Amino acid sequence: MLANQPPAVEILTPAKLNLFLELRERRADGFHELETVMVAINRFDRVRMAFTETDDVHVDCHWLPNQAVVVHRYRGAQTVAALPSSQHNLVTRTLEQFRQRFSIAKGFRATVAKTIPAGAGMGGASSDAAAALRAAAQLCDIAPHEPRLLQLAGEMGSDIPFFFGASDGPMTAAIATGRGEQIASIPVGGKLHFVVVHPPASVSTVEVYRRCQVPPEPVSATAMLAAMVSGRAARIAGQLLNRLADPSRATSDWIDRVLTAIRRTSVLGYQVTGSGSACFGICPNAATASRIAHQLQATGVGIAFAAESVQIANPSRDLGSFL
Ligand SMILES: C[C@@](CO)(OP(=O)(O)O)[C@H](O)COP(=O)(O)OP(=O)(O)OC[C@H]1O[C@@H](n2ccc(N)nc2=O)[C@H](O)[C@@H]1O
Ligand SMILES: Nc1ncnc2c1ncn2[C@@H]1O[C@H](COP(=O)(O)OP(=O)(O)O)[C@@H](O)[C@H]1O
């Protein structure tokens, strides 16, 4: 970095899979009380940010070339999956709120280089917003576990606190309650291996929640938590649940095609992640996940890749990046 260049912060921020998601009740504010177990996986967006002398926030959000090529080829020659412009980007809205909340006079310029599929239930927008908050805190010398930061994270999106990280150390997985903004880290008993398939269709989270039904007797996350602590993939496979899977499948017939293809493989278990459209299978090891990813890529139901659990470095210890 040149001597007179303003400081810049670069953070790699992961995607997530929901291994368990149960709805407990519909709230008066229109949100749903839920219990969900989320795990971070090694599919990253890269957020790079610096101050500007202007009085505004500008965000450039684009696909990393390899991901853009894959999306382009998959959707034919016409389009590449659209990403929101700066004014409609969750990163912009989050940074604008940050400047107001902490009375920051300077502006921010951020570039978001993406590989996390959008509208896939993998938390891409939430992850980018969490990384931008962490970068802004570092640029402004604000302690990362400052309570107002986590408060702002939860206000900007139910999944953002998960990606913002736990204040008591690195985290791989968490149980999230409330809207999803109350998180508690889970001590996972080992690395987890997955195959993820993202069809050429994105799903609206709002639409899926609009269609969802709270069950009369919600399932408890207790057995999934015990399975996660054991770290045994076969045990976790037996506890996979997503109460949003049915409403998600109703919004796009691509999801049933993906689930049918995954069902025909030797994964230990499989499910839709979040509100969809991506689905995942849990595998016993990395080699099996890689083999099944190639098998699924050949079926033409979507972009298939192997993934494994990763740590979200906690903001108080590592504000820098995964680099
Ligand atoms: C479904 C999940 C599962 O992890 O993730 P994605 O599939 O989006 O990745 C999350 O609940 C999505 O979290 P997030 O995308 O941050 O949701 P928000 O922006 O807070 O809310 C978007 C909309 O989803 C609905 N919503 C969200 C969370 C919740 N507990 N109940 C809801 O009903 C509401 O209609 C809300 O207006
Ligand atoms: N930084 C961002 N990256 C991707 N999508 C974004 C971003 N900011 C806003 N969006 C909008 O949020 C929607 C949901 O994005 P994302 O969170 O990645 O999907 P999901 O909620 O299914 O996990 C996208 O379809 C897009 O319209």
State the CATH number of the domain containing residue 45. 3.30.230.10
73, 158: one domain: yes
Here the CATH number for the domain that contains residue 270 is 3.30.70.890
ipTM, two decimals: 0.97
108: closest CA among 118, 117, 120, 99?
99
Q: Kindly list the protein residues whose Cβ atom lies closer than 6 A to any atom of ligand 2.
A: 61, 83-84, 89-91, 112, 118-126, 128, 202, 205, 274-275
Range(s) of the domain holding residue 139: 8-187
Is residue 61 classed as helix, strand or coil in its secondary structure? strand
Same domain, 81 and 46: yes
Query: Which ligand does the CA of 176 lie closest to?
Result: 1
At residue 149's C-alpha, the angle toward residues 131 and 178, to 5°, is 90
End position of a domain, from candidates 187, 202, 223: 187
168 is catalytic: no
Determine if ligand 1 sits within 6 Å of the CB of residue 26: no
In a domain? residue 221: yes
Q: How far is the CA of 123 from the centre of ligand 2 (A)?
A: 7
**Ligand 2 midpoint to CA 124 (Å):** 6
Judge if the beta carbon of residue 74 lies within 6 A of ligand 1. no
The mean pLDDT value of the chain amounts to 91
Distance, in Å, from the CA atom of 114 to the CA atom of 43, rounded to the nearest integer, reads 9
- For the chain, where are the E strands, in sequence order? 8-26, 32-52, 57-63, 107-114, 173-177, 182-186, 193-198, 241-242, 269-272, 279-283, 303-308
Instruction: Output the six-digit token pair for 165.
Output: 């990280």
**CA–CA dist 122, 176 (Å, integer):** 15
Task: Among 169, 187, 205, identify where a domain stops.
Answer: 187
Low-confidence ranges of the chain (pLDDT < 50): 1, 77-79, 317-323
Q: What is the pTM of this model?
A: 0.94
What local confidence, expressed as pLDDT, does residue 194 receive?
Answer: 98
Instruction: Quote the pLDDT of residue 196.
Output: 97
Asked if residue 256 belongs to a domain, the reply is yes
pLDDT of residue 80: 52
List 37's β-bridge partners, or say none: 20, 175
